[in-house]
Amino acid sequence: MEQAQGSILAINGGSSSIRFALFAAGNITERTLSGKIDRIGLPGTTLTATTAAAPVTALPAGDFPSSIRFLLDWLDERQALDGVVAVGHRVVHGMRHAAPERVTPQLLAQLRGLIAYDPEHLPAEIRLMEALLQRLPQRPQLACFDTAFHRTLPRVASVLPIPRRYEALGVRRYGFHGLSYACLMEQLAALGDPAARAGRVILAHLGNGASLAAVRDGACVDTTMGFTPAAGVPMSTRSGDLDPGLVSFLAATEQMTAAAFQRMVTRESGLLGVSGTSSDVRDLLGMETTDIRAAEALALFCQEIRKRIGAFAAVLGGLDTLVFSAGIGENSAVIRGRICAGLEFLGLRLDERRNAAHAGVISTSGSSVTVRVLRTDEERMIAQLVRDYVRQCAGEQSLE
């Protein structure tokens, strides 16, 4: 087959960041340029490029619209968009959409109708798609849905315990972080971990958004997030699971509207809500010895994740491999250690030196559970999906 020329642009808009990467279209293991805009909506918004002469650039404004414009102008100045033959976008929530789809006015209209289900991600993702369509109108663009990995959920894991009639409206557990989980399972298989194909794996994607997935014999059988990405364990600004009685209580005592409640549980809760100071684990670790609120936020975060690992081990009938990934999971040895403390009953033994060194395997040689730290790469998964889609549409011909 003739090697495709040009590059594929992968765009990954998160709740407080925009990651981007350019891949050679004929070889998606090769990044020609990549980076991220971080701390969007917080003080100190910066663009960090991993392969550029000036790696860190402060942004004049830190909201999402201005960050998108800054990124596209920055790429334009470096002629980075000139060779782009296709663009892929991570889309967190697509309801019944699962397989990658071409970005069209019709798809964008459908996604706008879903904003109420995911107000934290979808508005920014739609803006990114609209902005790229305007900059590169002749280039195919693909929406890659984060829910696809969880299509194998058994019914007992996907159905929600509310009146059955709401299923017709699409109310069910969807699960998210699917691009990350697919990447991690590919890596496990490539490393020769037998649990990737025939075993019991728990994947912990711990970043600004955090979730876990239970995987048996390569298929997802349960996950912490539910109908929306606000469910599950506490996160940077999201509450995770709450007593539904809070809705009526706060409506009666504080006249809190549904919109205000949604804003509270997605933007004002989690680590930020409990600490009252920051949504960033790094900040809280620096304050925990002098600020009890920071210490309590971190303790709650770790305990809730530890509880889900125990619950998923019960669902799986044991545990062979535990994987930590994403910003916190990959970079915070302290948090990994606190989560694993108390999981010895599963046969898990953490090696403190390996953990402190961020080694690929951080469990001891005698541990019956292999504990791994893997760097997720959602952008590569997006590029892979785009390449496969465009080649299929072109009848296995060149992207040109």
Q: Residue 94 burial (CB < 10 Å; 0-12/13-18/19+)? A: buried
Measured N-to-C along each axis, helices 245-254 and 258-267 cross at an angle, to the nearest 10 degrees, of: 120
In 149-274 the beta strands, taken as DSSP E runs, fall at 200-206, 210-216, 219-223
- Which H or E run includes 51? none
Inter-residue long-range contacts of 189-194, CB under 8 Å, 24+ positions, other chains counted: 193/321, 193/370, 193/372, 194/320
Note if 146 is an active site residue.
yes
Give the CA diameter of the chain. Answer: 67
Helix-, strand-, coil-residue percentages of the chain, each rounded to 5: 40, 20, 40
Nearest partner of 204 among 191, 223, 218, judged by Cα: 223
CA dist., res. 335 & res. 122, Å (int): 29
Contact 152, 220 (CB under 8 A): yes
Three-state secondary structure call for residue 52: coil
Q: Residue 345 burial (CB < 10 Å; 0-12/13-18/19+)? A: exposed
CA dist., res. 287 & res. 277, Å (int): 10
Contact 7, 23 (CB under 8 A): yes
Active-site pick, 38, 118, 146, 377:
146
387-to-142, 154, 380, 391 alpha-carbon distances in Å? 10, 30, 10, 6
Q: How far out from the chain centre does Cα 346 lie?
A: 27
The catalytic residues are 146
